[in-house]
Chains A and B, each alone.
Chain A
Amino acid sequence: MSVDQTTVRRIAQLARIKVKDEDLPALEGELNVILDWIEMLNEVDIDGVEPMTAVVETSMKKRKDEISDGAMPDSIMANAPASDDHFFVVPKVVE
């Protein structure tokens, strides 16, 4: 598997990362080296092997249906670049 520059541009766009055109060739190269390296995993035969989800046998912890958190709008807003009356304020996004 490998990527071309169009794919690199698309990945950057999906990740909302601004990439200059002149940086595309270098990124293409870097990503393909990483992909090649990961390709090595394909050499392992995993026929009939269940995907491993944890290193020790364990099941998902569940919480009770109780209100135990929240009610701290000041903390939630503390790092917001812009806010108004405990709302996050962002550049207008509308359909």
Chain B
Amino acid sequence: MIVDTRTPDPKKFIKGATGDWEIVIGMEVHAQVSAKAKLFSGASAEFGGEPNDHVSLVDAAMPGMLPVINGFCVEQAVRTGLGLKAEINRYSVFDRKNYFYPDLPQGYQISQYKQPVVGEGTETIDMPDEGRVEVGIERLHLEQDAGKSMHDQHPSMSFVDLNRSGCALMEIVSKPDMRSADEAKAYVSKLRTIMRYLGTCDGNMEQGSLRADINVSVREPGGEFGTRCEIKNVNSIRFMGQAIEYEARRQIGILEDGGTVDQETRLFDARSGETRSMRSKEEAHDYRYFPDPDLLPLQIDEAMIDDIKASLPELPDEKKARLIASYSLSDYDADILIGEQASADFFELVAKGRDGKAAANWVINELFGRLNKEGRGISDSPVSADQLGAIVDLIDEGTISGKIAKELFEIVWQEGGDPRAIVEDRGMKQVTDTGAIEAAIDEIIAANAEKAEQVKDKPNMIGWFVGQVMKSTGGKANPQAVNQILRDKLGVE
């Protein structure tokens, strides 16, 4: 029974010709388990490799071979389940899902059907305009990945590489709780973040470690659920958004023309941005699941669950709440910082013993901005947390101005070194010596007597004087001091 957990929100409705429509989305995410070896064999689960090199006789389904489960993959599934606050099933069963395809040498996929290892859970997503949204998790089960077929090597033949065959996948099925493409994108991206925190899936979408089947249907707001179509194997978050938007429009078009939506499987074509039917597979959808006689039921004891619970890291939601509470960060800044564990760790090193907001500002705006521009990750940042912290200290002490700090950041980025020593060596210290500032101001007033008269009537012109003083002092004069002395000397209130 499908329960509608959401209240229809007009902001998310799609305008059609006959009225408003609401999209209903559910997802099946396939996440490759981070592990050295495959789910049922000792062959390497590493991405790539020479063709058919990461393949054992089990993965190639040679007669007489028997699967033996990788205990660590089971732990990873349980860990992910705990991260999704889900029920862990102490008893689950592996089944055979039967179908023929050249990259599936067994003729069946070992999967879990009626009794998955993980049951119901929840994932919370934060949407900018609507706040916190709970997306229900229906289940998580373990299964084997298939091999890879290549169709572009030969005019009439396909090439098959079984390196991926038998790698462990977690299929994570959501409830149909999402109501817009943005929510669906946020759901996948949060799921990816959680799994990266847990270390259970690297989330590398280019390598296919994370891909989603998306179930989309439309209905009159708050009405009965419509007929859904399943868009297979979308492997980028941006494409997921495009596929959902296109598919919803397509279904609305059909319904408004008085037609009915056929329940079918569709493919997303990234080049055209459209989805198209893959009808040929429909006929074969008779998987004849049955328990795999080669495998005993999977039993999970309390000790294992307790051990994993004890080793769970601080998860994104908890980290966000803590960062906001301890460093008075905005929701927005906290969201950016928790996106990657390494980012949050870096921030906390910079923020330790300093003003949290100033630290967040430097980490997010200057450092992340610069890293993004150069396409680098936090792990190969040329500026360390200590260096960035020293820059923040120098501003805080009034040793350098914000403007000089940006120059200093650039020097540290390019050349490295101790920011404090650089400031000393290169004479970048802010001039707080009022005598020196006064001398510079006197000089400028003397050279611009006319403007100095005008400023009495037009107080806004003081900005021009500040600019001149900063210029003549190479940006090192303390702006507050300059402002104050100028006002006194020019007689501006």
> Residues of A with Cβ closer than 8 Å to B?
14, 16, 53-54, 58-73, 75-77, 82, 84-95
Contacts and interface: CB of A to CB of B under 8 A. Distances in A.
B157 A82 contact: yes
B13 interface: no
Interface string B60-72: 1000000011111
Given A91-B158, A93-B149, A94-B158, A60 B41 contact: no
A65 B39 CA distance: 9
A53 B297 contact: yes
A63 to B, nearest CB: 5
Contact of B42 (A63, A76, A94, A95): A63
Nearest to B157: A89
28 contacts: A14-B286, A14-B288, A60-B69, A60-B298, A65-B71, A66-B36, A68-B42, A69-B37, A69-B42, A69-B43, A70-B42, A70-B43, A70-B55, A70-B59, A73-B53, A73-B55, A77-B52, A84-B153, A84-B154, A85-B51, A87-B161, A88-B159, A88-B160, A88-B161, A88-B162, A90-B102, A93-B149, A94-B158
Interface string B97-111: 010111000000000
Which 5 pairs between the two chains have the least Cβ-Cβ distance? A70-B43, A62-B71, A68-B42, A65-B72, A69-B42
B454 to A, nearest CB: 76
Given A60-B295, A62-B70, 18 more contacts: A60-B297, A60-B299, A63-B69, A64-B71, A65-B35, A65-B73, A66-B37, A70-B56, A73-B51, A73-B53, A84-B153, A86-B52, A87-B160, A88-B160, A90-B102, A92-B157, A93-B151, A94-B151
Contact of A54 (B157, B159, B161, B296): B296
Interface in B66-82: 68-74
A65 B71 CA distance: 7
Contacts of A82: 157
A91 to B, nearest CB: 6
A83 to B, nearest CB: 9
A85 B50 CA distance: 10
B73 A70 contact: no
Nearest to B295: A60
A76 B60 contact: yes
Interface of B: 35-37, 41-44, 50-60, 68-74, 98, 100-102, 149-151, 153-162, 267, 278, 280-281, 284, 286, 288, 291, 295-299
B160 to A, nearest CB: 4
A78 B71 CA distance: 31
Nearest to A68: B42
A63 B161 contact: no
B267 A70 contact: no
Q: Interface SS of chain B: helix, strand, loop or mixed?
A: loop
B280 A95 contact: yes
A22 to B, nearest CB: 24
A88 B154 CA distance: 12
Nearest to B160: A88
B151 A92 contact: yes
A90 B159 CA distance: 6
Contacts of B37: 63, 65-69
A92 to B, nearest CB: 5
A60 B73 CA distance: 14
A87 B296 contact: no
B157 A90 contact: yes
B12 to A, nearest CB: 32
A77 B284 CA distance: 28
Nearest to B68: A63
B70 A69 contact: no
Nearest to B99: A14
Contact of A70 (B54, B286, B297): B54
Q: Which of the listed residues A53, A76, A77 has the most CB atoms from chain B within 10 Å of its own CB?
A: A76
B154 A89 contact: yes
Given A14-B288, A67-B43, A87-B159, A73 B52 contact: yes
Given A16-B100, A73-B52, A86-B51, A91 B70 contact: no
A62 B297 contact: no
Nearest to A73: B52
B62 to A, nearest CB: 8
Contacts of B159: 84, 87-89
A36 B75 CA distance: 44
A82 B160 CA distance: 11
Given A67-B43, A90-B158, A59 B296 contact: yes
Identify the interface centre among B43, B98, B156, B299: most chain A CB within 10 Å of its CB.
Answer: B43
Contacts of B154: 84, 89, 92
A3 to B, nearest CB: 14
Contacts of A61: 68-69
Given A58-B296, A73-B55, A93-B149, A63 B71 contact: yes
A80 B304 CA distance: 42
B274 to A, nearest CB: 15
Contacts of B296: 53-54, 58-60
B48 to A, nearest CB: 13
B68 to A, nearest CB: 5
B264 to A, nearest CB: 13
Contact of B69 (A62, A72, A77): A62
